Amino acid sequence: MKKAAIALTTLVVLLCAQIGTAFADTVLDKTVNELIGTKYKTAGATTSGFDCSGFTMYVFNEIGIELPHQSKSQAQKGNSVDKSDLRPGDLIFFNTDGKGISHVGIYLGNDEFIHSASDDGVVKNKLSEKYYKARYVSARRVIWDDLYDQLMQEAK
C-alpha cells in the first residue's frame, strides 16, 4: 500500500509539472496579461489608460516594434494575413463605426484576442463572438519569424 501511495504521488507530481509547462505563459502572454483591466482612455497610450491603437502601439513598443498611433495606419504595416492563418501576435482590424477600419487588437491564438474596448478597457474576447465576427476586416503580421520564436518562448 505504501509503494502504491508513493507511486501515485510521484505520478501526480509529474503530471502537474507537465500541465504547468503546457499552460505556461509565453513572453507575449506575459506582456499583454499584465495590462488586462487597464482603463480605456481616448488617445491613451500609457498604462494610465489606452485607446485601441494606443494599446497595440504600447505592447509592440515593449517588444521592440514601432507602430503609429492609429488603427488605420497600423493596418498598413507588415504583411496581410488570411484569417485562417492567424498566429499569436498578429494585429487584427475591425470596422466598428461603419466607415472602415476603426478598431485594432492583438490575436492570441485559439480564437482569442486582446484589445482596449471603449466600455471595458483592456480585455480578451473571442473572434467568433457575434459582434466581432460581423465587424472583422483584416489582419497584419508585423512580428517576423525570428522575433516570433522568442516571443513564443516560456516567460521567466
Is 69 annotated in the active site? Answer: no
Q: Which residues, other chains included, contact 147 with Cβ-Cβ below 8 Å and sequence gap of 6+?
A: 63, 64, 65
Compute the distance between CA of residue 111 and CA of residue 14 in angstroms, rounded to an integer: 30
28, 45, 52, 142: which is the annotated catalytic residue? 52
Compute the distance between CA of residue 68 and CA of residue 66 in angstroms, rounded to an integer: 7
Compute the distance between CA of residue 72 and CA of residue 153 in angstroms, rounded to an integer: 30
- Residue 76: strand pairing partners: none
103, 105, 108, 151: which is the annotated catalytic residue? 103
Sign of the alpha-carbon torsion through 68, 70, 76, 77 = positive
Is 115 annotated in the active site? Answer: yes
Compute the distance between CA of residue 155 and CA of residue 150 in angstroms, rounded to an integer: 10
Is 52 annotated in the active site? Answer: yes
- Residue 105: strand pairing partners: 92
115, 139, 141, 143: which is the annotated catalytic residue? 115
Residues tagged active-site = 52, 103, 115
